[in-house]
């Protein structure tokens, strides 16, 4: 019997400051089982905007906390076994960073999903990558589940934080390229700074920017980042 695929999307939506309607169209086109958001709304009316996006995409919040601007949403029917949100170590003068972790049961298979947004400053970025992965690993161990970390890394594959994450996890888009690689910017995509990193126990059928599914006009209107879709075999 073939192993079923699940669809995971990582997406920096820039607090829905561009076009919330376009973001919803992009997400619907990707049709995710799991959606990891960075720069989810966290200021004025943040609950309203997050609820609206969930409603317009048909997804259900698994973790949706204000600090760090992160959220993990799932399709109806995905069971949430554990949901945690952890602030990462604070650096003076830098933005608060965090990691959201949801342990899920997807069709009888468990998966620990982490969502994070790392810093622009290199040393903080590496430190936070270590902390985020540590929180995710502990949740995965508690449930004997493979782990996947998704997020805006704020550096490319040549950066220290990216290299740290790929010591034990696979860079899904490099392992099985799908669509296009560059995630930033949406109007002039030249950099790959968003990543999905998977446990060796997870098969990757393909990962990348789903240009064959999402209209380029919607991606350009929605955010300064493009979405990253991974087709995973648990």
Token pair belonging to 137: 């690993």
Percentage, residues of the chain above pLDDT 70: 99
Give the chain's radius of gyration (CA, Å): 16
Query: What confidence score (pLDDT) does residue 66 get?
Result: 95
Is the pLDDT at 7 greater than 80? The verdict is yes
Q: Are 95 and 119 in contact (CB under 8 A)?
A: yes
pLDDT for the residue numbered 3: 63
Give pLDDT, residue 1.
41
What domain range includes position 141? 5-233
Could you tell me which residues come within 8 angstroms of residue 131 by beta carbon, excluding any fewer than 6 positions away?
86, 88, 89, 99
The pTM of this model reads: 0.97
Q: Are 196 and 172 in contact (CB under 8 A)?
A: yes
**Cα distance from N-terminal residue to C-terminal residue, the chain:** 13
* Mean of per-residue pLDDT scores for the chain: 97
Mean per-residue pLDDT, 76-103: 96
CATH of the domain at 213: 3.60.10.10
| pLDDT, average across residues 59-74 | 97
State residue 125's pLDDT score. 97
Residue 36's H or E segment, with its range, is: strand 34-38
- When divided into structural domains, the chain yields a total of 1
Region of 162 on the Ramachandran plot (φ > 0 left; ψ -120 to 50 alpha; else beta): alpha
Peptide bond between residue 37 and the one before it cis (omega within 30 degrees of 0) = no
Q: Is the pLDDT of residue 2 over 70?
A: no
User: How far is it, in rounded angstroms, from Cα 82 to Cα 102?
Assistant: 6
Pair 176, 138: CB distance under 8 Å: no
């Amino acid at each position: 019997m073939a192993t079923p695929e699940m669809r995971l999307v990582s997406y920096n939506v820039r607090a829905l400051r561009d076009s919330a309607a376009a973001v919803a169209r992009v997400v619907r086109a990707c049709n995710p089982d799991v959606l990891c958001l960075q720069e989810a709304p966290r200021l004025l009316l943040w609950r309203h905007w997050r609820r609206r996006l969930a409603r317009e995409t048909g997804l259900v919040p698994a973790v949706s906390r204000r600090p760090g601007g992160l959220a993990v949403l799932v399709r109806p029917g995905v069971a949430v076994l554990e949901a945690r949100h952890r602030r990462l170590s604070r650096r003076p003068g830098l933005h608060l960073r965090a990691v959201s972790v949801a342990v899920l049961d997807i069709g009888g298979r468990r998966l620990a999903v982490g969502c994070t947004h790392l810093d622009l400053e290199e040393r903080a970025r590496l430190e936070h990558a270590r902390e985020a992965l540590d929180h995710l690993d502990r949740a995965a161990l508690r449930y004997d589940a493979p782990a996947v970390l998704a997020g805006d890394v704020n550096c490319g594959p040549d950066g220290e934080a990216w290299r740290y994450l790929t010591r034990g996890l696979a860079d899904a888009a490099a392992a099985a390229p799908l669509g296009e690689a560059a995630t930033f910017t949406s109007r002039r995509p030249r950099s790959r700074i968003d990543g999905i990193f998977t446990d060796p126990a997870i098969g990757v059928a393909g990962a990348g920017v789903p240009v064959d599914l999402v209209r380029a006009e919607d991606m350009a209107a929605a955010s300064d980042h493009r979405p990253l879709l991974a087709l995973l075999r648990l």
